[in-house]
Structure 1
């Protein structure tokens, strides 16, 4: 080690010469995560939306009616709009064209109170320049003032390319190229960029589904704006094209998001408020002077209640989604709870000595789109996921409170009836929550055993270990008697149910808790229900539905699975719910001893008619004979204990079908179709399925 090197490693040797000063866009390339969140697919998609948001801001200002997004086959991403076009004249302070200033200087743009945009999604003036810094090549073309002007950049440095693509020879140099003439009425901007693979991971890509979802969402939020998406990346397949335009705004968006049947019409709550904030403003001498500025915040909310349980709330600031909420969402929720409680007291639906409803009750089954527009909102971070402007909470709360109170207290007949229905739904949700909470307090295994709170009909197992224990939900008392003898009492528990339980897809949570069979199942499993379900508190490692192998048994399984899906879904998601597979037939062999020896099995079990026919043919070819007629089980109660243990309960021989929820949205649609309130779609499903039914399989 040389003396100079050793000197640099002395702990006290720290001076100004050790400091690094990053010029221009170097900071972006050094710490890209600060600006786009990450260098994977999420960060790459964020780059695309930084460019799209600039076009969206033009649409918000009323100067753009169409945006095109193209994912090219060579890896490029292009965004085109028909807005005013980025300014191309010389910016006085820098002496550079406006396009070059926007694309190469951080915190430069038309969104700092200059009057170009009253409300926008881009606030920090870093979006376009950050994308430029993280691109191997970026081309921008502007139609403005009767000319098409263009510039190119490599990793944020202006210059010219000798050819197409990011690998073409590049010569650095500032300057704007003025091209062909266009009509003065033709304006717009086209940005095409190739992400820099020195920055982004090799497998980073823009997911088409996410892009289409965001494009659809933006089209909902700006009525009259057309957004077209074209994906040319499919090798050997035609491009995928989608186009979105919605004139109904967030009312139409609210209807689109709603997953359930409506309890109320879509309500539109609109208003505005003002607030004052202190911001630094450049004076005539170029100094930043703290100045009080009056801001206007516009509030526009669309909401409706449905008969479902899960809330769907989407929030936006100047068309930018805020998935983690912020002050505007806090104000919205506070106003909802306050106004609803006031109206419940006024309507005598909530007595003076009863606890007020809480946010969870009010949001049950609610679909809402909360949007605010204001100049220069304060976000928490460049990714703009949380609104931090404190005044938004007060103004949104005032507007929502005033408008919602007018609806809930309306004297118009139609609105009065809807308001009453909404209030009753919220009260029922509160009662169900309170009942579920009370039930959960007694559901831990030891507490339940100490207080003798478990149902008397439960035949529990001796083991207290959750992993090895199994709960069989048995159809009928007749099968229970046999199952008691067939089970392994060390780890197998039995809970009989009487016939068909309540269809919880149609019933409320309160009605479900009143149903003796449903309440017993929840109580025995011991982990709560609904959003309060705690899968770690479940008393059994497996829950096995053991029903007859007939139509009624299938219906009972469907009803039980509906209960698990609606109120104990984590058990399904973890694969801890099973259906037992009892046999349909028992074949008693008559000459098996002579053919195989005295200890050979005399009985053969089959699980379908097709399997029975196949096995009988095999036995006939091998010279076996059997007792006629072949026994067909009509129910589990027809088996003796040995047969039930051997075929259905003994882990060494049984067959179980694991019930899983792989796709939640598709599963919800199936449950709603088969078990929901809408009869017509179910009738159509049955009628269409009847054409494909094999009549010979009907057990009549």
Structure 2
């Protein structure tokens, strides 16, 4: 078939770059033009704010849903620099807000959150917003710059003195892009709850100013980390008996990162497993969740054989059948996360699987030895799941 007959030749090739590409295919960058993509827009900015707060020695971020349909995110970090960026010749904040692959150093440091593991999130939020106003408080001065659909409307302007440091971004999602531009308070509260559990001591405040009955406000701050997270998940499932939560943290240079794991067995007969990479939920799982299951299976198998509950003729405990009554959170923070799809929902780092599996096997194995009565109940549940249907 010839190019003439198909009507296809080099003249028909179109190259989209920068903001034009983002606005033409927004789903490629935020997952969808529905509620999911709308929330990703805010979570992109929330990740920046939390990173800035933690890196600057602060720890408080406020999210406000404003009556005009916009969102305002304020952090108490050092304030994003307005000084000229060497690579672009434009102010630093403007570069972050307009260049797709501009990033800051803390985005590659797992001690901060950096929920989106690629440095384009802030410019995406700007490009897919009809208006965005950036206010920076830094070195005693407050500066403001405004944007429309990713384009700077004017240079940064001085707006008076500042008594504290930090950055505030106020933006309105573009109704020309999204099917809905209305954020749900409950959904945002759930995400902030997760973020507070995964970063103990982080202070997050969500305020909704849209109601005529007055503002609705919630604060999220937890010191118990993933252990407390598992306790909450059990409570939400209606499990009122105090479960013994097994929790630990471990740094492993083989995966260039750290892990936090908590697990318990309740009586709900359901598996509740939540996985996170750099505080971002991995809805489609990945190597960290696979490693967790494999570690549980290895620990249970070894214990059951040592206790004579399994013989040499019995098959090994299968990792895909250890979820009965299990509630678990596995959170890994990596210097170089590898996500296997464009929506950033599946962790792919191979080393994470091995490291998490070994850590869970060791820690759970020790717990089973130290708690024989509880171990008997846990192992019995898992072995029952291996009885042929």
With structure 2 as the length reference, what TM-score do the two structures score?
0.92
Provide structure 2 residue ranges, at least 5 long, that are not aligned to the other structure.
Answer: none
**Partner of 1:607 in structure 2?**
none
Give me the CA root mean square deviation.
2.3
**Partner of 2:173 in structure 1?**
195
Q: Where does residue 399 of structure 1 map in the other structure?
A: 359
- 1:409 match: secondary structure: helix
The reply to whether residue 350 of structure 1 matches residue 310 of structure 2 is yes
Structure 1 residues 187-246: Cα deviation after superposition (integer angstroms, max 9, x where no partner)? 211110011111112x44222211111111111111111111111222x32221111111
**How big is the shift at 1:361?**
4.4
Q: Does the 8 Å contact 1:264/1:418 carry over to 2? A: no
Q: Contact 2:80/2:136 (CA < 8 Å) preserved in 1?
A: yes
Decide whether the 8 Å contact of 2:66 with 2:208 is kept in 1.
Answer: yes
Deviation of 1:62 (Å): 6.4
Matched, 1:421 2:370: no
1:97 counterpart residue number: 91
Larger radius of gyration: 1
Of 262, 265, 273, 1:313 maps to: 273
Q: Secondary structure at the match of 2:230?
A: helix
Shift of 1:261: 4.7
In structure 2, relative to structure 1, the CA distance for the partners of 1:382 and 1:189 (3 Å cut) is farther
Aligned 8 A contact 2:127 2:150 in 1: yes
Q: In the alignment, does 2:216 pair up with 1:240?
A: yes
* TM-aligned CA deviation for residue 337 of structure 1: 0.7
Q: Quick check: 1:111–1:123 contact (8 Å CA) kept in 2?
A: no
Compute the displacement of 1:117 (Å). Answer: 6.3
Once the 2 structures are TM-superposed, how far is the Cα of residue 382 of structure 1 from its aligned partner?
4.5
* 1:206 aligns to 2:170 (yes or no): no
Secondary structure, counterpart of 1:136 in structure 2: strand
SS in structure 1 at match of 2:259: strand
Whole-angstrom CA distance in 1 between matches of 2:374 and 2:384: 15
In the alignment, which of 60, 65, 76 is matched to residue 71 of structure 1? Answer: 65
Whole-angstrom distance in 2 between the partners of 1:53 and 1:113: 10
Cα distance between partner residues in 1 of 2:363 and 2:56: 27
1:182 counterpart = 2:162: yes
C-alpha spacing 1:113/1:192, structure 2 compared with 1 (3 Å): closer
The whole-number CA distance in structure 1 between the counterparts of 2:294 and 2:306 is 19
**Residue 38 of structure 1 aligns to a residue in which SS?**
coil
Paired residues for 1:322-341 under 5 Å: 322-341=282-301
Pick aligned residue for 2:203 from 185, 205, 226: 226
Higher relative contact order (CA 8 A, sep 6+): 2
- Shift of the 253–119 alpha-carbon distance from structure 1 to 2, 3 Å rule, reads closer
> Do the aligned partners of residues 223 and 321 (structure 1) sit closer, same or farther apart at CA in structure 2, a change above 3 Å counting?
same
* Aligned-partner SS, 1:387: coil
C-alpha distance after superposition, 1:359-411 (max 9, x if no partner): 4542111110101111130113343211111211111112112212221223x
Where in structure 1 are there 5+ consecutive unaligned residues? 1-7, 160-172, 276-294, 438-700
State the 1:336 CA deviation: 0.9
Indicate conservation of the 8 Å contact 1:272/1:399, yes or no: no
Report whether the alignment pairs 1:31 with 2:8. Answer: no
Whole-Å Cα distance in 2 between the matches of residues 225 and 117 of structure 1? 13
Cα deviation 1:579-617 (Å, max 9, x = unaligned): xxxxxxxxxxxxxxxxxxxxxxxxxxxxxxxxxxxxxxx
Q: In the TM superposition, what is the alpha-carbon distance from 1:269 to its structure 2 partner?
A: 2.7
The more displaced of 208-217 and 116-125 is 116-125
Kept in 2: contact 1:120–1:375 (CA 8 A): no
Give the Cα–Cα distance (whole angstroms) in 2 for the partners of residues 359 and 24 of structure 1: 44
2:34 is equivalent to residue 40 of structure 1: yes
Equivalents in 2 of 1:64, 1:382: separation in Å? 32
Please show how residues 122-161 of structure 1 align to structure 2 within 5 Å. 122-159=116-153
Corresponding position of 1:83: 77
Contact 2:71 2:170 in 1 (8 A): yes
Aligned partners of 2:50 and 2:112 also within 8 Å: no
What is the distance in 2 between the residues matched to 1:364 and 1:226? Answer: 34
- In structure 1, C-alpha distance between the alignment counterparts of 2:74 and 2:123, rounded to whole Å: 17
1:409 match: 369
Partners of 1:237 and 1:35 in 2: how far apart? Answer: 36
Distance 2:267 2:54 in 1: 35
Say which of 14, 21, 44 aligns to 2:9: 14
- Which residue number corresponds to residue 297 of structure 1? 257
Note if contact 2:274-2:328 (Cα within 8 Å) is conserved in structure 1: yes
Distance 2:137 2:244 in 1: 45
Residues 115 and 66 from structure 1, CA distance in 2 versus in 1: closer, same or farther, beyond 3 angstroms? closer
Contact 1:270–1:400 (Cα < 8 Å) also in 2:
no
When residues 177 and 116 of structure 1 are mapped into structure 2, their CA distance, relative to the original with a 3 A threshold, is farther
Structure 2 residue aligned with 1:618: none
Answer yes or no: is the 8 Å Cα contact 2:110–2:335 preserved in 1. no
| In structure 2, C-alpha distance between the alignment counterparts of 1:355 and 1:114, rounded to whole Å | 43
Q: How far apart are residue 119 of structure 1 and its match?
A: 5.9
Deviation at 1:345, TM superposition (A): 0.5
Report how many residues are paired: 384
- Write the distance in 2 (CA, Å) between the matches of 1:88 and 1:51: 17
SS at match of 1:272: strand
Q: CA deviation at 1:12?
A: 5.7
**Is the Cα–Cα contact under 8 Å of residues 51 and 107 in structure 2 kept in the other structure?**
no
Residues 36 and 13 of structure 1, relative CA distance in 2, 3 Å threshold: closer
Relative distance call for 1:400 and 1:384 in structure 2 (3 A) is same
Q: CA deviation at 1:9?
A: 8.1
Shift of 1:121: 2.0
Cα shift at 1:118? 6.3
